[in-house]
Homo-oligomer: A and B are copies of this chain.
Amino acid sequence: MKGHPPERSIHVPLVVQNTPRTALEVVDGLAAAGVATVHEAQGRTGLLRSGIRPIFRPARVAGNALTCEVAPGDNWSIHIAVEQARPGDLLVVTPTSPCDDGYVGDLLAGSLRAHGVRGVVIDAGVRDVAALTEMGFPVWSKAISAKGTVKETPGNVQTPIVCAGVYIRPAAAVLEAALKREASEASRRPRLTGGELGLDIYDMRGRLADRGVRYVEFPESP
Contact = CB atoms under 8 A, between A and B. Distances in A.
Contacts of A154: 208, 211, 213
A171 interface: no
Interface size classification for chain A: 35 or more
Contact of A181 (B4, B10, B101): B10
Copies in the complex: 6
A167 B67 CA distance: 15
Interface string A53-88: 100011010000000000111101001101100000
Contacts of A216: 14-17
Interface string A145-175: 1111011111010111010011100000000
Interface in A101-125: 101-102, 105, 107-108, 110-111, 113-115, 125
A100 B144 CA distance: 19
Given A17-B217, A41-B10, A80-B199, A110 B50 contact: no
Contacts of A130: 57-58, 60
Contact of A147 (B39, B53, B76, B110): B39
Given A2-B201, A4-B203, A11-B43, 9 more contacts: A16-B222, A36-B128, A50-B143, A73-B97, A97-B147, A98-B98, A110-B193, A114-B194, A115-B195
A99 interface: yes
Nearest to A19: B218
